[in-house]
Amino acid sequence: MSVSTAMVSGKVTAGIATSHSQRGSVSVNSLTKLFGAVKAVDDVSLSIEPGEFVALLGSSGSGKSTLLMMIAGFGDIMLDGVRINDVPSYRRGFGMVFQSYALFPHMTIAENIAYPLRRRGLRGGDVEREVTKTLKLVALDGYGARLPSQLSGGQQQRVALARALVFRPLLLLMDEPLGALDRKLRQQLQMEIKLIHKEVGSTIIFVTHDQEEALSMADRVAVLERGRLQQLGTPRELYEKPATAFVADFIGEMNFLPVELRQSGGEVCARSPDLGLEVVQEASQVLTSGGGGLLAVRPEYVGLTPDERASAIVLESAYTGTNQSVLVQMGSIRLTARTSVSPGRPLFQSGQRVRIEIDAAHTRVFPPAS
């Protein structure tokens, strides 16, 4: 067994205990955490507005939980000179929900939800009133007297959510809270959590490895890869204006075409001789001086027209009702196109020759993968 030493640097400021920072805001500054040689979190900075719903999205091992725990103040994080990991969780002012429901098995549902209130010194009718209100909020009216073992997984996760919400925290931290549930239940709870967020108004940081979940739930999504923050943006910004080739590839479907790059002044010209395509873009990103790069284009911006004289050929296609996904080959290049299907118009067939048209306005140029 190896023992790793954790090294931490950086700063988290959360507007919970401090009076000068805005209540419910979270800001993270150059946060780094090493486990031995592994950089679990690598120089991450981000700011979250009060009441915002932010998802931390990344594949397994990308550092989501470590970052969330650092924000929660587990680990030696200083909050304006105070080590907030010494502050008991019920006093930190935020709620936490994990994948495992972590309910107290010997306590009833009502007692589980009342627990954070009692730890805060509330007694009697006040507790009862808040518990009843919160049970209603998570749609578990009348379940208060049961034990956790008498509830389904989805219901237990709702109780965990209620327990985290009962004291109206300014900040709610959730680490893959729906990870253990089946698809249908997940989707239902995704909606419910969004509704609850609207009603309660807490700032939410929600960890998930599921891009659909992140995009459909969050106001903004932070994409992590190997501990590094790749991009923090609205779902639409991530989809339409991915900052890195990683994000472009990770979010949705993307074609990457090899292109020649020429940079002059503030502009970059990307050329694909094979496709007879030339795209000029602002050189806001760091690009290599000359040489090759990648042009990214979503399947919905690859247009196909049947043309017997064209050199591109359809390899495969899949019909999905409203759309047809079509894989085409042209020289050494393979591209996926998504075309909308209209009644009466024939579908593309394998072996068919097609002309490819790429909408240059919807492409992004990236430096070659490092």
Ligand X SMILES: Nc1ncnc2c1ncn2[C@@H]1O[C@H](COP(=O)(O)OP(=O)(O)O)[C@@H](O)[C@H]1O
Task: Give the type of residue at 184.
Answer: K
Strands (E), 58-208: 78-79, 82-83, 94-98, 171-175, 203-208
Q: Shortest distance, CB of residue 85 to ligand X, whole angstroms? A: 15
The item of ligand X, Mg ion, none sharing an interface with residue 62, based on CB under 5 to 8 Å by kind, is ligand X
Residues 104 and 101: their CA atoms lie apart, in Å, by 9
- The DSSP code for 31 is E
Cα angle at 178 between 175 and 180, to 5 degrees?
105
Residue 220, Cα to own-chain centre: how many angstroms?
A: 8
Footprint on residues 167-196 left by ligand X (CB under 6 A): none
Whichever of 64 and 163 has its CB closer to ligand X, that residue is 64
Cβ 174 vs Cβ 54: under 8 Å: no
Binders in 12-71 for ligand X, by CB under 6 A: 35, 38, 40, 58, 60-66
Q: Which stretch binds Mg ion (CB under 5 A): 17-25, 28-36, 57-65, 178-186?
A: 57-65
Question: What residue type is 248 in one-letter code?
Answer: A
Closer residue to Mg ion in complex, CB, 60/332: 60
Helix pair 125-137, 153-165: axis angle to 10 deg: 130
- DSSP element (H, E) containing 8: strand 6-14
Tell me the C-alpha distance between 43 and 362, whole Å: 31
| Residue 66 interacts with Mg ion (CB under 5 A): yes or no | no
List 65, 85, 272, 336, residue binding Mg ion (CB under 5 A): 65
Check: CB of residue 226 under 8 Å from CB of residue 272. Answer: no
Number of residues that bind ligand X (CB under 6 A): 12
Judged by beta carbon, residue 65 or residue 155, the one nearer Mg ion is 65
Q: Which does 4 bind (CB under 5 to 8 A by kind): Mg ion, ligand X, none?
A: ligand X
User: Does 93 sit near ligand X (CB under 6 A)?
Assistant: no
Name 296's bridge partners. 256, 364
Question: Which option in Mg ion, ligand X, none does residue 154 bind, with CB closer than 5 to 8 A by kind?
Answer: none
Q: Which of 9, 33, 13, 7 is nearest to 25 (CA)?
A: 13
Among 30-38, 63-71, 178-186, 293-301, the segment contacting Mg ion (CB under 5 A)? 63-71
Q: Which partner from the list Mg ion, ligand X, none does 35 bind, CB cut-off 5 to 8 Å by kind? A: ligand X
Residue (65 or 317) nearer to Mg ion, CB: 65
The residues that touch ligand X, with contacts defined as CB under 6 A, are 4, 35, 38, 40, 58, 60-66
